[in-house]
Amino acid sequence: MIRTLVISKRTPPKKGLFQVPSKTLRSGFTLFELLLVLAVVAVLAGLAWPRLMGIIARQNVQSAAEQVRQRLDRGRVKAVEEAVTYQFRYEPYGDRFVLLPNEIVTDPDAESNSLSSSNELTTIERPRVFQLPEGCQFHVQNSLSGESMTMERLPEEFSALIVNGATNSDVSWAPPVLYYPDGTATNAVITVMDEQRNYIHLAVRDLTGAITVSQVSRMREGLGG
């Protein structure tokens, strides 16, 4: 007699919807792993921080140079439009600058002893002394010949013309950069520098009065005064 052995397959029980698997799952990071990640982040931040601060510093000196460029360009435009010579002044090793007419006269026909520009305009946009962003100043490179820059205070009539002239009457200004009615100007190079010695040159061309702005550079210690 041949017996047939029947092996039945046992159907595994169905797992419930929220049944926890038999294998234990990891629920988070170990303390060592957290410390390792923090160490990596700290190293990356330390490497990137000087570069980030350098970018911020360059933006600061670029903003300062742009303010000066706008005043210089405005001097050229106003000189041509008003047929008046304009002067741009800045404070060496300081942060103040101003744009104003190069000559002013007392108008004898005015009811009061008011000041007007030399072309006897009835209305004047009164100039104002501006300041560079914090941490920036006008740098003056020492001359190799030993010559020093001649600085001077504005006469009282000019200070009276400036809106905030009374609070800036003690400023010693550099020689003026002049803009003439024919569009020409005096040759000049103005340097703006920040506390990290990042600097920008603004060059004024005499034939056209155009302003050329250099790239941001870094002055080495012991150079440039």
Residue 57 Cα distances to 49, 60, 156, 221, angstroms? 12, 5, 37, 17
Task: Give the pLDDT confidence of 50-102 residue by residue, as tens digits.
Answer: 666 666 667 899 999 999 999 999 999 999 999 999 999 999 999 999 999 99
Q: Count the neighbouring beta carbons within 10 Å of the beta carbon of residue 169.
A: 15
Q: Is the pLDDT of residue 133 over 80?
A: yes
Residue 105 contacts residue 92 (beta carbons within 8 Å): no
Distance between CA atoms of residues 149 and 92, nearest Å:
9
Task: Give the pLDDT confidence of 41-58 residue by residue, as tens digits.
Answer: 877 777 766 666 666 667
Q: Is the pLDDT of residue 103 over 70?
A: yes
Residue 139: name the closest of 189, 85, 103 by CA: 189
pTM value is 0.69
User: What does DSSP assign to residue 127?
Assistant: -
Grade residue 145 by pLDDT with cuts at 50, 70 and 90: very low
Distance between CA atoms of residues 117 and 197, nearest Å:
39
Domains belonging to the chain, first-starting first, are: 43-218 (3.55.40.10)
